[in-house]
Amino acid sequence: MQKRTLSQKLSFWAERGLLYTLLTTVALLMLFPLIYMVIASLKTTVDFNSNPRRLLPYTHVTEALAGRQEVPVYEFSVNDEEKRYLISQIDANNSDKSDFAYLGEVADLEAKVKLGSHAEQRRNIDVLGIIPIAYRNEEGQKIRIEDQTLTLIPTENIVQLAGNNSIFENFRVYDVFIDGELVQTWLDSIDQPVPLKAYMLPTIAEAGEELTIKVSEPITLLDARDSDRDYDSVIVSSPTQETTLVWAYNASIDVFLDQENPQNVIYAIESFVKPVEVIEFQFSNYEAVLGLADEPSLRMDRALVNTAFVTILVTIGQITTSLFGGYAFSRMRFRGRDTLFLVYLGSIMVPFVVLIVPIYRLMTALGWEDHLVSLIVPWIFTAYGTFLIRQFFITIPKELEEAALLDGCGRLRILWRIFIPLSTPALATHAIFTFLYAWNSFLWPLIIINTGNKEDQVLTLALITLGNINADKPNIVMTGAAVMILPPMIVFILAQRYFIEGIATSGLKG
């Protein structure tokens, strides 16, 4: 072998590098939908719906404070100090006052606006708070606080109410006056750390102090969605102090507890703060779909077994019939052979849809509807496979066969001893085609197998049912798709070396 010069070597390796890079890039592009499917099938539902979309599966880190349920953890900075916070789970829907926000002292404006995206452009306001801009009167009508003055008078009354996890907590009762008229009574939690949103009241005021709320000029702030927004603001005055509060909006304000020091409460908007997430693959999706977990509505395991069963029988059947057929068409001269072959070829060109009703009738005449046999027996007689095998057999030298015939071999034995061993690639090709065809067929099972019949379902049907019944769990639907798509891929990868050879040597190339 000649010695290569350095530049030759370089160009050799550069060429190879380029080739592999190109191949990999194109392969990644081509396989993107499948990669997406696999990853999406390992996501949680919330993560699947997350906006903006991310490729990798994330789960929200949760943590439980002593004696309480697990809650999601968030991370954000207050006063330039980045910390982890637990969100306090409050069911806003249970509140009959959900139109009201709670008044509360939020760390400070700086911290608050940082939760949005444009800290640099913020304007200075003394205190950012959250106050109600509307309330419901007894008839249920919503009334905005316009020029009215809201007055809150904390009373000495303390009541006990069940909070989260049915733990009784103490609440202070406030009287609320609007324009001097008593409209409602509010409660405020005394026992921190987990304030109940619905019953929260300002902690600005001391007990016994009168608090007045007046609407003032709107304040323009740049919000987290990049646009200038006018926020209502109010002046809250108590005998000792006066503060300006900005009304953000109510129902979406959440209460966060400092992870290390749960007494420390911060108010923020959940959708603006960054959740603490880790990459985690939800293999439980597969457990659910494959029936390993106890979720009967999702199970596809029976369909998987049925599909495998049907597919294997159809494949074996097709190979057998087309071996005989292909041999006869290629090697036996009999009257009517060419006409028959033409009819076979023609039948490939008839759209299947038109045959649905006649074949269905045939199935009912045989009593096969809604049974697996209707997916097997009619499909093991194939024109396409016969054609494929015939094209391959034609290429086998006649001499081999003639010698065997002279030795007194029967036709079947010739087929078994000579043709089959020689045509492994072609058979593998045919087998893969059949396998895919049977595994992926969809319209016929849809018609012939009753969707309610779980016993005889195949994967394509199960996937459609899964998609319809679990429209709210797209990640599970992706898992279903993966369960359907991955097994034939594995089979293909195992058989591929025969397959490509098979195409190369069979008549398929034209």
Partner 1 sequence: MNKRLFVIALITLLSLTLLTPVLAQDSGDITLRWRTRPDNQEEADVYQAISDAIDAEWDGVTLRYEAGGTETAGYQDTLITEIEAGTAPDVFWIPGTDIARFAEAGLILNLAEYAAADEDFSVEDFVEQPMFHLTFSQDGEPALWGLPRDVSSFAIYYNIDLFDQAGIDYPGGENWDWEAFREAAEEITALGGDIRGFGMNNWWANYGYWLNAAGSSFFTEDLRSCGLDNENTVVALEFLSSLYKDGLAVPYGEDAEGPFRAGNVGMFINGRWATPGMTQVDFNWNVAELPAGPAGQSNWVFWGAYVVNAKTEHPEEAWELLTRLTSPEVQGQVAALGANIPSRVSEEALEVFLNTFPELGLNNQAFLNGLSYGVPETPVWFGSWSDIDNAYFNGVAEVINGDLSPQEFADTICTEVDQFFEE
Partner 2 sequence: MATLTKPQAKSAFTPSLVLLLSMIWALAIAVYSIYLAWRIFNAEAFDVRESLGNTVQYFFGFLSLVPAVLGIFSALGFALLITNPERLNLYQRIADHELPPAQGIDRIPLLGRYVFLGLNYLGTVLSAFYLLHLWDVFIGLDEVAEAIYENRVLLWGLVGAYLLFWLSGKIIRLQRTLELIALAVGSISFILLLLFSGVHEALIYIAGQYDSLIVWIVTAVVIIFGIFTYNALQMGRTFGETPEQSIGWQGWMLVSPNVIGFGLFLAGPLLLSFYLSFTNAKVGQVPKFNGLENYTTIFSLQLREQKPEHQYPIEALDSDYSIVHTYKLGNTRYVLGARDARFWLSLENTLQFCLMLVPLATIPAIGLAVVLNSQLPGVKFYRALYFLPSVAAVVGTALIWRTALYSSQIGYLNYAIEQIINATNAIFGTDIENPQFGWLIDSRLQLFSVVLLTAWQIIGFNTVLFLAGLQGIPNALYEAASVDGASRWQQFRHITLPLLAPTTFFVVVTTIINALQVFNEPYVLYSREQQVPDTVATAVYHLYLKAFQSTSGNELGAASGFGYASAVAWVLFALIFSVTLLQFRVSRSGEER
Q: For binding to partner 1 (CB under 8 A), which residues are involved?
A: 45-46, 49-52, 91-94, 96, 98, 133, 142, 225-227, 231-232, 247, 249-252, 271, 296-297, 356-357, 360-361, 363-364, 369-370, 446-447, 450-453, 461, 464-465, 467-474
- Does position 398 bind partner 2 by CB under 8 A? no
Q: In angstroms, rounded to a whole number, what is the distance separating the alpha carbons of residues 428 and 424?
A: 6
Question: Which of partner 2, partner 1, none is residue 322 near (CB under 5 to 8 Å by kind)?
Answer: partner 2
Please state the closest distance from residue 343 (CB atom) to partner 2, in A: 8
Is residue 258 within 8 A of residue 85, CB to CB? The reply is yes
Q: In angstroms, rounded to a whole number, what is the distance separating the alpha carbons of residues 455 and 72?
A: 41
Is residue 300 within 8 A of residue 290, CB to CB? The reply is yes
- Does position 219 bind partner 2 by CB under 8 A? no
Among 61, 219, 373, 396, binds partner 2 (CB under 8 A): 373
- Residue 215's H or E segment, with its range, is strand 211-222
Is residue 224 within 8 A of residue 116, CB to CB? The reply is yes
Please state the closest distance from residue 49 (CB atom) to partner 1, in A: 4
For partner 2, the closer of residues 51 and 93 by Cβ is 51
- Does position 16 bind partner 2 by CB under 8 A? yes
Q: In angstroms, rounded to a whole number, what is the distance separating the alpha carbons of residues 482 and 339?
A: 44
Return the residues of window 30-69 that contact partner 2 according to CB under 8 A.
30-34, 36-37, 40, 51-53
For partner 2, the closer of residues 199 and 379 by Cβ is 379
Among 56, 345, 403, 469, binds partner 2 (CB under 8 A): 345
Which x/- pattern over 319-338 shows residues binding partner 2 (rule: CB under 8 A)? -xxx-xx-xxx--xxxx-x-
For partner 1, the closer of residues 57 and 317 by Cβ is 57
Please state the closest distance from residue 247 (CB atom) to partner 1, in A: 8
Half-sphere exposure of 261 (CA within 13 A, CB side): 4
- Does position 362 bind partner 2 by CB under 8 A? yes
Token pair of 286 as six digits: 């597969």
Parallel, antiparallel, or unpaired for β 265-269 and 134-136? unpaired
Among 270, 287, 420, 467, binds partner 2 (CB under 8 A): 467
Q: Which residues pair with 242 in a beta bridge?
A: 237
- Does position 350 bind partner 2 by CB under 8 A? yes
- Does position 26 bind partner 2 by CB under 8 A? yes
Rg (CA), the chain: 36
Please state the closest distance from residue 33 (CB atom) to partner 2, in A: 5
Instruction: Name the DSSP class of 5.
Output: P
List, in sequence order, every beta strand (DSSP E) within 33-180. 58-60, 62-64, 70-78, 81-87, 134-136, 142-144, 149-162, 168-178
